[in-house]
């Protein structure tokens, strides 16, 4: 009998894209497409169970073994450094982590830089590597407002299309790192469900190559 694979998918547009990749890889679960509020879907004949979780929580489910595998953004992996295996770049959900500020911002190295962000760990590491003193202001969303209201000098945040920055009169000052969706696995699941996970990774890798085109 096939071993059941428990998969944590990020709720939202990225999750739907990623689900189609899993479907093509031989793990369909048609019920997942029905409209509704259900969060767990199972297809016994393919030995797969999907759960929709908050994108920033996928790595927690995988790290603790509640899910064997999952898909998380590189931003989340860099920020929380979960103890998991990162097996594949899916080449989708592409964006970047960047520093942005008001258009008239001029940096003054003599002053501590006030940085508003949801990604405190990434911001701290980035400025430490540059030897720059910063004061981190941790926010949970709508980060772009911080420099406009004078709460911070700059922000460290995800930029995808650039629309949010543009519509709030902000500009990118520096790019920190490119981001994309990663296939991750729980360390012991990778050992005990190796055959299923490995063949899935190989199939997804072929699809990820196509995503590059």
Question: Cβ 162 to ligand PRP, closest distance in Å?
Answer: 5
C-alpha 65/C-alpha 3 separation (Å) is 15
Least distance from ligand PRP to the Cβ atom of residue 126, Å: 16
Q: How big is the site for ligand PRP, counted in residues (CB under 6 A)?
A: 12
Among the listed ranges 4-12, 103-111, 140-148, 188-196, the one in contact with ligand PRP (CB under 6 A) is 140-148
CA distance 26 to 195: 14
Percentages of the chain per state (helix, strand, coil), in multiples of 5: 35, 30, 30
The CA-based angle 45-47-51, given to 5 degrees, is: 120
The residue within the footprint of ligand PRP, chosen from 157, 183, 190, 208 (CB under 6 A), is 157
Task: Give the nearest distance from C-beta 144 to ligand PRP in angstroms.
Answer: 6
Element (H, E) at 181: strand 181-185
158 binds ligand PRP (CB under 6 A): yes
Helices 194-212 and 13-24: crossing angle, nearest 10°?
110
Binding region for ligand PRP (CB under 6 A) out of 24-32, 34-42, 119-127, 142-150: 142-150
DSSP 47: T
The verdict on 169 binding ligand PRP (CB under 6 A) reads no
Nearest to 156 by CA among 99, 114, 107, 106: 99
Q: Pick the stretch among 1-9, 40-48, 59-67, 153-161 that binds ligand PRP (CB under 6 A).
A: 153-161
Candidates 142, 175, 195, 199: give the one binding ligand PRP (CB under 6 A). 142
- Judged by the rule CB under 6 A, the positions of this chain that interact with ligand PRP are 141-144, 157-164
């Amino acid at each position: 009998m096939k071993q059941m694979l428990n998969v944590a998918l990020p709720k939202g547009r990225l999750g739907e894209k990623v689900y189609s990749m899993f479907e093509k890889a031989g793990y369909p679960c048609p019920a997942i497409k029905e409209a509704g509020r259900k969060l767990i879907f199972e297809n016994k004949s393919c030995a797969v169970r999907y759960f929709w979780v908050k994108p920033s929580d996928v790595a927690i489910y995988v790290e603790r073994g509640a899910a064997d595998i999952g898909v998380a953004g590189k931003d989340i992996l860099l920020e929380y450094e979960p103890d998991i295996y990162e097996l594949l770049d899916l080449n989708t959900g592409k964006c970047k982590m960047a520093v942005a500020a008001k258009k008239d911002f001029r940096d003054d190295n003599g002053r501590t830089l006030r940085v508003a962000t949801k990604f405190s760990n990434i911001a701290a590491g980035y400025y430490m590597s540059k030897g720059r003193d910063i004061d981190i202001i941790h926010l949970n969303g709508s980060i772009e407002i911080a420099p406009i209201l004078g709460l911070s000098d700059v922000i460290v945040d995800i930029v995808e299309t650039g629309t949010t920055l543009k519509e709030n009169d902000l500009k990118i000052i520096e790019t920190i790192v490119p981001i994309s969706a990663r296939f991750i696995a729980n360390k012991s699941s990778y050992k005990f469900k190796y055959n299923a996970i490995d063949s899935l990774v190989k199939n997804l890798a072929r699809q990820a190559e196509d995503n590059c085109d």
